[in-house]
Each structure stands twice: as C-alpha cells, then as structure tokens.
C-alpha cells in the first residue's frame, strides 16, 4: 500500500511537468526560423496557396489557440498528423520507440555492470586501479559521445569490419543482427556513464568502509568479502541509484547524437529531423514521449530508494 501511494503521489506531482514542458516546447518551436507552410508549398507558390495551407495547418491562429487545440487532441489520445509524411504522429513515434528503448536500455545495463565492477575492483584493490578509474572518469567526461562514435566506426566497422557501420536490425527479425547493430552505438553511449558510475561506486564503497559499524564488524572477525557484499553494497547503493537515474536521463539526451551518427531510426534522430523540417506535431509528440520516459525513470529511482531504505516509503 505504501508503494502504491508513492507511485500515485509521484505521478500526480509529475503532471504539471508534462504541461510545462509541452507548453515551453510549443513556444520554443515557434521561435525556430522556418515556416512549415512555405516548406510544403515551395518557394514558387502563390500567396493564395500559401495562405490556404496555413489555414489548413492551423498556423494562422494565435499560438495559445494552437496549443489549446493540440492539448485537447492529446486528451483524446490524438497527437495529430505529421505535416510532411501525413502519418499519425502516434504511429510514427511508436515505430521509432523500440529503437531508442533498445539503445538506452542496453547502454544503461552495460554502463551499470561495467561501472559497478570497475568501482568495486578499484575500491578493493586500490593502487593502479584507483588512478585508472580517475583517468577513465576524466576521459569519459571530456570526450563527446559523437566523437567516440566516429572512432568506433573507423576501428570496429571500417578497419576490422566486425560490426555494421550504420542501421538497426529489429530484434524480432534477427536477434544476432540486432545485437551486432547495437554494439558500437551502445559503447559510444556508455563511455562517460561507465566512468561516472565507476567513480561513484568506488567513492561510496570506500566511504561506507570508513563508518563505525563496519569497523565494529571487522573487529569482530567478519570477513572482508562478507562485509562488502552483505552490508557495504547495500549502504553504498543509495547514492549509486541516484547516479544511475541521472545517467539514464543523460543517455536520453546523448542518444540524439548517437542515433544521428549511426543512422538509427529512433526518437532522437526523428526529433532532429522534425526540427529541421519544422514539423511541429512530431516535435511535440517526441518531446512528450521523452518527458514521460524521464518521469518513469525518476519513478523507478524512487521505488528503488524505497526498496533499499524503508524510511523513503514512510515519507
């Protein structure tokens, strides 16, 4: 029951965020140079043709009216129609969503597993591994994901020819091809995340090892392995869960560049293309989807906190 109340409370508190983000996106898109009506009719169309298209698209109405009409359609489950393809925005986004979810989920898993392993190893052994984690964190934060993606393409796809250069293979069509198509994008997406998680894991484990109750357990003869896996990791997991949530949200942003570099048909590349075309319904729908993903990530972090720390459930 406490978990259910936590979920309901978090979802209700996130509702104003959805309104705020959608309204802000609507305003910002209207400020972007370009006119979708002019793009559709071309530069040589007459004024009458241009005005007709503007009326058909509803672009002749004031911006608050346009947003209100869009909001009413959203409450009816309709995100509108793409101005250029003519397809329903919901269908366009649903076709792209599995690509982005595959990329982000795989990136999160790889980042979490490698980051935690590196952090634990450096915390247990110290020495050279500590310096290596610090260097990795510095490189991961300094190197842009798109630049690392180009390096991986040059080495892994062009020189070694182990993986495809671009594209995406659906999981249902070819599981092996799906995995191969994700290797380079996931690696390029995970570099900075692995560095951040490794450093946070090491620092959290070392901080927990320095607490009084750990010293008491060591004085009573508990083995280091038992202390590490049964007590230290549970206490160190709280700040690590927060970092994982932040990393997952950052992967959503980095996926825009990675999908563009690897020509993957996901939400990120769709948003970039729709912005260039000034396709307002697609942009609004993509931002709404991404915002919902962020809300779900934050909700997952809260639930994980509640699982690890009962005081959160009672709050």
Would you state the pLDDT for residue 87? 86
The residues pairing with 81 across neighbouring beta strands, listed in sequence order, are 88
Confidence of residue 203 (pLDDT cuts 50, 70, 90): confident
Q: Does the predicted TM-score (pTM) go above 0.85? A: no
**Nearest-angstrom CA–CA distance, 63 and 71:** 12
**Nearest-angstrom CA–CA distance, 23 and 15:** 13
- How far, in whole angstroms, is CA 166 from its chain's centroid? 20
**pLDDT tens figures, 34-60:** 777 777 777 777 778 778 878 877 777
**Nearest-angstrom CA–CA distance, 100 and 191:** 18
Q: Work out the average pLDDT over 59-75.
A: 84
Confidence of residue 152 (pLDDT cuts 50, 70, 90): confident
């Amino acid at each position: 029951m406490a978990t259910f109340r936590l979920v309901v409370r978090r979802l209700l508190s996130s509702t104003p965020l959805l309104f705020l983000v959608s309204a802000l996106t609507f305003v910002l898109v209207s400020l972007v140079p370009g006119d979708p009506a002019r793009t559709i009719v071309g530069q040589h169309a007459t004024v009458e043709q241009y005005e007709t298209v503007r009326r058909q698209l509803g672009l002749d109405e004031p911006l608050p009216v346009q947003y209100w009409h869009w909001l009413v359609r959203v409450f009816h489950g309709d995100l509108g129609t793409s101005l250029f393809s003519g397809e329903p925005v919901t269908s366009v986004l649903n076709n792209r969503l599995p690509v982005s979810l595959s990329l982000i989920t795989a990136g999160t898993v790889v980042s979490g597993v490698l980051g935690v392993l590196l952090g634990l190893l450096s915390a247990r052994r110290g020495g050279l591994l500590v310096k290596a984690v610090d260097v990795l964190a510095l490189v991961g934060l300094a190197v842009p994901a798109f630049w690392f993606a180009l390096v991986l393409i040059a080495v892994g796809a062009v020189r070694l020819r182990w993986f495809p250069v671009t594209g995406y293979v659906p999981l249902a069509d070819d599981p092996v091809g799906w995995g191969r198509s994700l290797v380079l994008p996931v690696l390029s997406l995970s570099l900075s995340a692995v560095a951040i998680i490794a450093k946070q894991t090491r620092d959290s484990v070392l901080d927990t090892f320095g607490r009084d109750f750990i010293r008491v357990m060591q004085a009573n003869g508990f083995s280091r392995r038992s202390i590490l896996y049964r007590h230290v990791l549970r206490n160190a997991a709280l700040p690590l869960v927060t970092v994982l949530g932040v990393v997952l949200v950052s992967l959503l942003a980095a996926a825009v560049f990675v999908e563009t570099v690897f020509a993957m048909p996901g939400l990120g590349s769709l948003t970039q293309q729709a912005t260039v075309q000034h396709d307002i319904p697609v942009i609004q729908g993509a931002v709404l989807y991404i915002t919902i993903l962020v809300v779900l990530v934050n909700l997952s972090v809260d639930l994980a906190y509640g699982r690890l720390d009962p005081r959160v459930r009672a709050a």
